[in-house]
Homo-oligomer: A and B are copies of this chain.
Amino acid sequence: MEEFENKGGPGRTELEKIGEFGLIERLTRDLPLYHKEHTLKGVGDDAAVLRIPEGHVQLVSKDLLMEGVHFDMTYCPLKHLGYKAIAVNLSDIAAMNGKPLQVLVGIGVSNRYSLEALEELYSGMRLCCERYGVDLVGGDTVSSRSGLAISVTVLGSAPEENVCYRSGAKENDLLCVSGDLGGAYAGLLLLEREKREFLANPAVQPDFKDFSYVLERQLKPEPRLDMVELLARLGVKPTSMIDVSDGLASEILHLSKDSGCGFMLYQSKIPVDAETCKALDMFKILPEVAALSGGEDYELLFTVSQADYPKIKDSREIRIIGHAVEAAQGNYMVPEQGTLIPLSAQGWQAFANRRPEEAGENGEGGEDREAGSFSE
């Protein structure tokens, strides 16, 4: 994460010194455009003007992220926060099997933030836009009475016949996932523990060695746009697809409901990285529990027809973790031995004061974990 290294304190310019128009101008100065043929006008008019690629339909999604709910400024550096705010939106376009082209950003910010802090946030956003070749075409900054609110809208496109909905899974389809799961949640647990220890004793230095992978999974997730390309290369169109933002269980239930089928998930096939397992073990949390209910992994969960099995079987990035069954059979995790475990959506109880108990687990994970997480 070299480009995320702190370059030293840049001073502090109060926002009221430069005013709203000055601020927007400063933050959106010299924005590069990667899609000049599709972005006719970016920042600076009443609306952005875009051209959709010939023969494509448009994909649009948005997210609203609130300080203290979706992120915690105690341990989430602004540059990472900016990067993640864009990345999770790009993930929604990947989940439709599309290509993101533009983003618009709205920021609500209190006087407590300086110009330099906002520039840091924007630098993370720009970096993610650069990495994925996405144009930032709208940047609105307004004042807020308390805390930071980040609103991102992402626009993308795909040939109409390529779009993957949540609703196309059929009985006997294979249930697949990219990458591995549970890492982002393990990273969150580590960061929250450090926050508690820091609050108790600010002199203690955090001990994060050996955990760079799970921390990066939490602080700087990557949208799986490479999977969209891989699937195209393999000649596979998923029958249904969704990204894993709330946890594997919740996403499987979405596919189940929208497709009108059930799913059998094989417990032993759920991919969890070794470092993730090691971190979770410190908190006495089972890897499957983190994968099912942790969320924020931003991997792609999808179904493919059995006929496509030969095309995907040798791909290391695609794991087959289950299969679709008729709706009446329901949704279960299948252990290596013993009885089936019904899947329930822990998901995201955003309005409850406390997080739901982990399924079958009474470890440390049972505490409030709203802070530090992004929702869908």
Contacts and interface: CB of A to CB of B under 8 A. Distances in A.
Interface of A: 14-16, 18-21, 23, 40-41, 44-52, 57-70, 92-93, 95-96, 98, 102, 104, 106-108, 111, 137-138, 140, 142-147, 149, 151, 153-156, 160, 163, 165-167, 241-243, 258, 345, 347-353, 370, 375-376
Contacts of A166: 44-46
- Copies of the protein in its oligomer: 2
The 4 A-B residue pairs with the shortest CB-CB distance in the complex, in nearest-first order = A64-B106, A46-B95, A47-B61, A151-B151
Given A16-B351, A20-B348, A151 B62 contact: yes
9 contacts: A19-B351, A20-B348, A20-B349, A46-B241, A60-B155, A62-B106, A62-B151, A64-B106, A69-B142
Nearest to A40: B57
Given A60-B104, A64-B149, 17 more contacts: A19-B347, A19-B351, A19-B352, A20-B350, A46-B61, A47-B98, A49-B58, A49-B96, A50-B60, A51-B57, A63-B106, A64-B106, A64-B108, A65-B142, A66-B149, A145-B147, A153-B153
B66 A143 contact: yes
Contact of A69 (B41, B64, B65, B143): B143
A48 B59 contact: yes
Nearest to A91: B46
A46 B302 CA distance: 13
Contacts of A140: 62-64, 376
Nearest to A105: B62
Contacts of A45: 96, 165-167, 258
Given A20-B348, A49-B163, A349-B19, A151 B59 contact: no
A44 B259 CA distance: 12
Nearest to A23: B351
Contacts of A70: 142
Contacts of A66: 108, 142-145, 149
B104 A47 contact: no
Contact of A104 (B58, B62, B69, B163): B62
Given A151-B151, A352-B19, A57 B63 contact: no
Contact of A353 (B16, B20, B60, B349): B16
A47 B93 contact: yes
Contacts of A375: 20, 142
Contacts of A98: 47
A48 B52 CA distance: 15
A21 B144 contact: no
Most B-side CB within 10 Å, residue of A21, A51, A96, A347: A21
A74 to B, nearest CB: 14
Nearest to A349: B19
B58 A92 contact: no
Most B-side CB within 10 Å, residue of A102, A156, A165, A166: A165
Contacts of A167: 45
Given A45-B166, A140-B64, A149-B66, A351 B15 contact: yes
A96 B49 CA distance: 9
B21 A47 contact: no
A49 to B, nearest CB: 5
Contact of A149 (B49, B68, B108): B108
A165 to B, nearest CB: 5
Nearest to A67: B145
